[in-house]
A and B are shown apart, each in its own frame.
Chain A
Amino acid sequence: MTRLSIAPASADDARIGGFLDRQKRRVDAMPPGMCPLAQQLTLLEEGALQTCGKCVPCRDGLPQLAGMLRHLVDCQADAAEVERMRALAEMVRDTSDCAIGYESANALLEGLDAFAAEVESHVSKHECQRSVGQSVPCETFCPAHVNVPAYIALVAQGDYAGAVQMIRKDNPFPTACGLVCEHPCEQRCRRTLIDAPLNIRGIKEFACEHARADQVPVPKRLPATGRRVAVVGGGPSGLTCAYFAALMGHDVDVFEGRKQLGGMIRYGIPAYRFPRERLDEDIRGILAVGGITVHTESPVDAERMAQLSADYDAVYVAIGAQTGKGLRIDGTDAEGVFSAVDLLGRIGDGDYPDFTGKKVAVIGGGNVAMDCCRTAVRAGAEEVSVVYRRRISDMTALPAEIESAIAEGVEMITLQAPAAIEKDEQGRCCALLTNPQMIGPVKRGRPAPVAADKPQMRIPADIILIAVGQNIVSAPFEEFGMAAEWGEFKADEQLHAQMDAEALAARGADAFAGANVFVGGDCQTGPASAIKAIAAGKVAARNIDHMLGFNHTLDCGVTVPPAQPNDRAAYGRVEVLERPARERKNDFDAVEVPMSTEEAMQECGRCLRCDHFGAGACEGGRIQYA
């Protein structure tokens, strides 16, 4: 009889645990521009090495598949070998005993389909597609391709104004992005290999804190070209286009329907996340270029749009996604039911609601829902709930936003789908009725809720805020002749608006009408992020310049500091703190406390300067425009 032991079955399991974190970080830091088949190979080889050695398909099949895939990665495989690989992968998928085998083969089969073009390139051209090639991660994943390593180096030198100028080379909203950007730049930061991604947004916030955007001089405007550009929509996308077009010497008129500039970063983001005076710093910086004439409270209808297209050399349409989506349930007409964007829009113009003593329910799980619930807390609500039909982990809001809302006392009522709104005799809403859900099968990569066998729930509510998405007011522009699908304008990758020949003919316009119209931002992509809208504005300005026969280059006025050797010691990531919840929930003042100088310097010191070290130094390793 074997005696029992308290020793772990394998002493190395615990040690492996420590290295798994490294392995995860290696995966998290997968460089942009990798050959997708190389990624598939590492995934497959990992599966092959995990085999226990029992079953033939996994033990003998996966190494064979890995050999074939390596052959393909090396551009040595022909189409017949790819077919053999598929046939073997199907056998491994269908006959492996456990998930180590079948999921490895399943991933390979799906990968071969997902990357069919890359497979074809390897087989027939014996090379990767042209799009394969590594580049600097932060710069690549920033939609506006801001030169991140450069401005971090400038902050490290203490040149905060230089950092703001460097950011503005690609993005005239440094303050907005310092405070509210969803920071895609951080997602594959190479520093992750050592410890964690840099807090890039926090560093930008720090720079703008110490060098205000309206105090840092903008570059001198290039000589006037005599060309006129109309921008429809004074949000981040329109103003970015205006900024760059004006810098290039074009005269710009911005037509904004509301009272003030800023679009959704004024009318959609609450002041506690982005104080208005900070937004005004960015806007003053942009307007300081000169040559930009702003027309507020100037909505553009079809007729006006036709006029603009005729009168101006180019038009950029960036009207955003401004109206709230409704819910198809009974009782949405009750008094006390609002769309999230209406509420946030009114606040944008200083009309703060008073929810004192009210019970507020917010429907939705995105960032707008978090903005609404946290606003409701500050408006004095007695209790605030977020009602969402999936789980907290399925919410599209940033995790930090959810955490902050909970800290401020918001109750997350999850797995409840709105069924109806209950009204009292006066027609005021008094409760939200919900149907319980349970989380079910994954559909299109996301677990989907299904009706649960539980009783309906009644959530008492005097105010119900609906934050389930936004729509685009596309009708006037469609009438003008712009093509749209589901309300989103169609454009090519250069953002030339696609015109609808039938609509043009219907209003008697000639077939060339609209050839000078560009369109971008939320109204072209559907509701997305500020930085994507900013990126579109920059693309539009560049391409308008090109269409007008120019090829202006812009000098941001600062040079990139030389790279210092990497500090390879592992550090923790400095997070940006918020004021204590018990304080901040009582006012609309900024919640974030920017990094201290000491913190910012440590954070900057972690930057590995991928612009200098590694592929960033190679031809094609950067995404930069002069």
Chain B
Amino acid sequence: MLNITIDGRALEAREGQTVLEAAREAGIHIPTLCYLAERSAIGSCRVCVVDVEGQDAPVPACTTRVVDGMQVQTATERVLKYRRMAVDLLISNHGLDSTDYCFSCVKNGACELQAVAREVGVSHPTFPVAQMRKPVLDSNPFLRFDPNLCIACQRCVGACNNAAGNHVLQTGKRGVRTTIRAPFGPNWDATICESCGNCAQACPTGALVEKRRGLYREWDTHTVRTTCPHCGVGCQLDLVVKGDQIVDVQAADGPSNDGLLCVKGRSGSFDFVNSPDRITTPLVKNPETGEFEPADWDTALDLVARKFAELKEEHGGESIAAFACSRSTNEDIYLFQKMARCAFDSPNVDNCARV
């Protein structure tokens, strides 16, 4: 263990940890913006700068590893000033006027830049920047990129490449004109982008967003943690609920998904919930009319159990096969095969999750 102090507090840190990791573990807050754990730690925004005893200049906490005896100050006059300047430079270049100063931005209230600016005490941009009206890329059915709002933190690039492993998002134009090359333009469907949306979840601003964010405001909603119903992996996700409607999905940090989701989990697994076409009760076919008619669960289950028992008695268990839906959780499938083997006496078990 390494002995360090942060703001005078003696801490033990592990070899290889960054100052930011050590501080977070100890519950010491250092503001960050471009840092996204395990996705992107390129140290670009300089919002997390801290002073280290013996160093002439402040260092970014997110990329600086702890060394034994390190003495860190997270809130010297100098670092507070430099953080303000860094955020000032960012919001000066953030196309604020293009969203009527946040009012029309879909991330208003959920914007990390807004939150950091508020935290470090920047209420308005002081640097002059030419008004930007770059075209917004919004042909992709799920995702939209507004380069006017992009602060080039590259969190989306890290999410796409380091986490999702898709290697679709890149930085483009370089230098002072650095921007994100997002494949959401007119030929979006000719790209290898899977529209998984991990980039949008990584974006701290309203630059790269799921389009459906426009249907709600952060403060109108609450979240419900659940398991993705789309396949057996068991990704954890938070359903974003407004009133009695599910309006969005955000990846949660589950053991099997590590904060990521695929396009199906993020965009294909909730909007049916409120569909008027959805079947909400068991249906039993009326043998006389040939039409399905609503029934209660006991009736329906009794019917199914009786029919399977008859088949088993007449033809033996092996005449029955159990074929599970791919949109079932692991637990459901486990119980399903249990039923097949123990109740049906059938070894014929399968699942359609092959895609």
Contact = CB atoms under 8 A, between A and B. Distances in A.
A186 B154 CA distance: 49
A51 interface: yes
A199 to B, nearest CB: 40
B152 A91 contact: no
| Most chain B C-beta atoms within 10 Å of own C-beta, residue among A52, A62, A93 | A52
Q: A interface, by DSSP: helix, strand, loop or mixed?
A: helix
A85 to B, nearest CB: 11
A87 B57 CA distance: 14
B285 interface: no
A54 interface: yes
Nearest to B127: A64
Given A93-B57, A95-B86, A97-B43, A60 B175 contact: no
A291 B239 CA distance: 107
Contacts of A49: 175-176
B128 A67 contact: yes
Interface residues of A, number: 25
B176 A61 contact: no
B85 A88 contact: yes
A41 to B, nearest CB: 16
A91 B86 contact: yes
Contact of A53 (B43, B82, B128, B152): B152
Interface string A46-69: 001111111111011111100100
Contacts of A60: 89-90, 92-93, 127, 176
Contacts of B44: 54-56, 97
Interface in A23-45: none
What is the size category of the interface that chain B forms with chain A? 20 to 34
A561 B45 CA distance: 62
Interface string B103-134: 00000000000000000000000011000000
Interface in A77-101: 87-88, 91, 93-95, 97
Nearest to A55: B44
Contacts of B43: 55, 97
A56 B176 contact: no
B82 A63 contact: no
Contact of A56 (B45, B78, B177): B45
Contact of A61 (B57, B89, B175, B177): B89
A57 B89 contact: yes
Contacts of A52: 174-175, 178
Contact of B176 (A63, A91, A93, A94): A63
A91 B81 contact: yes
Contacts of B58: 94-95
Interface string A90-116: 010111010000100000000000000
Interface in B47-68: 49, 56-58, 60
Nearest to B171: A53
A56 B57 contact: no
A140 B44 CA distance: 46
Contact of A51 (B49, B86, B127, B176): B176
Contact of A95 (B82, B92, B174, B176): B82
A59 B176 contact: yes
A94 B78 contact: yes
A155 B219 CA distance: 86
Interface in A495-541: none
Contacts of B60: 95, 97
Contacts of B152: 53, 59
A50 B177 CA distance: 11
B175 A51 contact: yes
A425 B171 CA distance: 78
Contacts of B154: 54
Contacts of B46: 55-57, 95
A48 B82 CA distance: 19
A416 B43 CA distance: 45
B143 to A, nearest CB: 23
A156 to B, nearest CB: 46
Contacts of B86: 56-57, 91, 95
B339 to A, nearest CB: 44
Contacts of B89: 56-57, 60-61, 64
Contacts of A63: 176
B325 interface: no
A54 B176 CA distance: 9
B50 to A, nearest CB: 11
Contacts of B85: 57, 61, 87-88, 91
Nearest to B87: A56
B42 interface: yes
B196 to A, nearest CB: 22
A55 B151 CA distance: 10
Nearest to A94: B57
A51 B175 CA distance: 5
Nearest to A62: B176
A93 B49 CA distance: 13
Given A56-B90, A87-B85, A91-B86, A48 B78 contact: no
A319 B312 CA distance: 126
Interface in B77-100: 78, 81-82, 85-86, 89-90, 92-93
B176 A53 contact: yes
A48 B127 contact: no
A49 B92 CA distance: 19
Nearest to A50: B175
Contacts of B49: 95
Contacts of A64: 89, 92, 127
Nearest to A66: B176
A51 B90 CA distance: 16
A91 B78 CA distance: 9
Contacts of A88: 85
Interface string B11-34: 000000000000000000000000
B282 to A, nearest CB: 52
Contacts of B81: 87, 91
A94 B175 contact: no
A62 B176 CA distance: 9
A87 B77 CA distance: 13
A54 B175 contact: no
A609 B175 CA distance: 40
B174 to A, nearest CB: 5
A59 B128 contact: no
Contacts of B175: 49-53, 59
| Most chain A C-beta atoms within 10 Å of own C-beta, residue among B56, B57, B58 | B57
A74 to B, nearest CB: 14
B63 to A, nearest CB: 8
Nearest to B172: A53
Contacts of A55: 43-46
A224 B176 CA distance: 70
A57 B127 CA distance: 13
Nearest to A58: B176
B228 to A, nearest CB: 31
| Most chain B C-beta atoms within 10 Å of own C-beta, residue among A62, A67, A87, A97 | A97
Nearest to A49: B175
Nearest to A95: B46
Interface of B: 42-46, 49, 56-58, 60, 78, 81-82, 85-86, 89-90, 92-93, 127-128, 152, 154, 171, 173-178
28 contacts: A50-B175, A52-B174, A53-B173, A53-B174, A53-B176, A54-B44, A54-B178, A56-B45, A56-B86, A56-B90, A57-B46, A59-B175, A59-B178, A60-B90, A60-B93, A60-B127, A64-B92, A87-B81, A87-B85, A88-B85, A91-B81, A93-B57, A94-B57, A94-B78, A95-B46, A97-B43, A97-B44, A97-B60
Interface of A: 48-57, 59-64, 67, 87-88, 91, 93-95, 97, 102
Given A54-B154, A61-B89, 13 more contacts: A49-B176, A53-B174, A54-B42, A56-B90, A57-B85, A60-B89, A60-B92, A67-B128, A91-B82, A91-B85, A94-B58, A95-B58, A102-B57
What 6 pairs across the A-B complex have the smallest Cβ distances? Answer: A53-B178, A94-B57, A60-B89, A95-B46, A91-B85, A54-B44
